[in-house]
Amino acid sequence: MLTLEKNARIVFAGDSITDAGRDRTAEPGGWGFGTGYVNQIHCLLSAIYPDYELVTINSGVSGDDIVMMAERWQRDVLDLEPDYVSVLIGVNDVWRHFDQPFWKPKRHGIDVYEQVYEDLIERTLPHGKGMIIVGPFMYEANQQEPMRAMVSRFAECARRLAERHGLPYVDVQSAIDRYLTRQHTCIVSQDRVHPYERGAVLITREWLRAVGFDWEREAIDD
């Protein structure tokens, strides 16, 4: 059963995976969903649960890490008065350790990630009905590959925070790992981070499972 109440406002916060080229000129809740998982979730919720009239808002910003996202949290999340906030953040926190090795002021560790994430959760929960924590992930099958291994540690941190606060945790990495036993990563992502549309489907399916989406529900119930 869907755990989202009718007429709920859902704000999606995160980095480029959430942003996915969203239209920033669109009114919140309008058509600025981008081409990624947020758009897919919006389409499925509005098509299968038309009577719920759920409002979907994409507040993702390409390039954000947890610190950058926190700096705009009030304006881009809380000021939109969400009932639910879905957060997918962390891969850029890791990536900066690998793609900017000589720009150390831009880098921070998992301790900062956890501290800032904890603060965002504590700031947000009193103002809404709940949050959905999506663990960061990579489209990389080799769990010992250095960047993938670090992403997994950040994902475990996100999982601990979700469990600590009694929030649903969306384990996208496990779904990706299962997929990659059958297909190569190039089928779902060009750079192992940014998904093609079929890669975004893996995120969408796990997110919808976490909120009790009924794939068998008729759009118009008797």
Displacement of CA 54 from its chain's centroid (Å):
18
- Listed in sequence order, the residues at least 6 apart from 116 whose beta carbon sits closer than 8 Å to its beta carbon are 66, 67, 70
- How deeply is 28 buried, as exposed, middle or buried, from its count of CB atoms within 10 A (0-12, 13-18, 19+)? middle
Residues recorded for the chain: 222
Query: Half-sphere exposure of 137 toward its Cβ, with a 13 Å CA cutoff?
Result: 30
CA distance linking residue 199 with residue 166, whole number of Å: 28
- C-beta separation of 132 from 208 below 8 A: no
Return the closest-CA partner of residue 208 out of 161, 154, 172.
172
β-strand 55-58 against 84-88: which pairing, if any?
Answer: unpaired
- Listed in sequence order, the residues at least 6 apart from 83 whose beta carbon sits closer than 8 Å to its beta carbon are 4, 5, 8, 9, 10, 128, 129, 130
Q: Which residues are catalytic?
A: 16, 191, 194
Amino acid at 216: E
